[in-house]
A and B are shown apart, each in its own frame.
Chain A
Amino acid sequence: KAGVTQTPRYLIKTRGQQVTLSCSPISGHRSVSWYQQTPGQGLQFLFEYFSETQRNKGNFPGRFSGRQFSNSRSEMNVSTLELGDSALYLCASSLSLAEETQYFGPGTRLLVL
């Protein structure tokens, strides 16, 4: 089975712009979660989607949003980018919401200038 895929792998944006990142889960997995990884804050949970609905949300401002499509693919959007949004954004998929193992993608590295 193919693993979790994320596009694009690298992205450079400037402050104030918005960005959309994409994630395709492992085939058959219906839950998709997003995490932000930075040197200062480590790995932090952003949100989880299942059946096109947000099921869990971390402590991030409303500028961070996401959605999930009927084929379980997910996108996350960050509006009005700030320098501090520079990070590696990781997507993880799992079979369901039943508190299972998450498998991570390679991430999208976002640099905000």
Chain B
Amino acid sequence: AQSVSQHNHHVILSEAASLELGCNYSYGGTVNLFWYVQYPGQHLQLLLKYFSGDPLVKGIKGFEAEFIKSKFSFNLRKPSVQWSDTAEYFCAVNELTGGGNKLTFGTGTQLKVEL
């Protein structure tokens, strides 16, 4: 079965530090990849997605992610974090088997940005 690994469960950074959150998946076929963010007290929001094309995708709020097919990875990056980036970040994968929109999520990374 498909699995998604997020290796960093809790990350604490100071404002202006750079961020990289790891995401690896196990499925060997074609996938759609997503990063979602859940701010405190808010619902899951789409940060960015990769379907095809340029493996470097840009999302909202200055986030970007790079799809490396050979490494089954889709790491999230931001050059300079802000206090308002404090949230939980989820990587999600949809196997393209013609079977609809079933997302497999990683366990999430809780990011705390300190002033």
Contacts and interface: CB of A to CB of B under 8 A. Distances in A.
B108 A101 contact: no
A94 B105 contact: no
Contacts, number: 59
B46 A103 contact: yes
Nearest to A45: B102
Contacts of B36: 104
A99 B106 CA distance: 18
Contact of B100 (A43, A97, A104, A106): A97
A102 B46 CA distance: 8
B87 to A, nearest CB: 14
Nearest to A104: B44
A56 B49 CA distance: 22
Interface residues of B, number: 24
A44 B103 CA distance: 8
Contacts of A35: 103, 105
Instruction: Please classify how large the interface on chain A is, using the bins under 10, 10 to 19, 20 to 34, 35 or more.
Output: 20 to 34
Given A43-B90, A45-B104, A101 B99 contact: no
Contact of A105 (B43, B46, B90, B101): B43
Nearest to B94: A99
Contacts of A50: 100
Interface of B: 32, 34, 36, 42-46, 49, 90, 92, 94, 96, 98-108
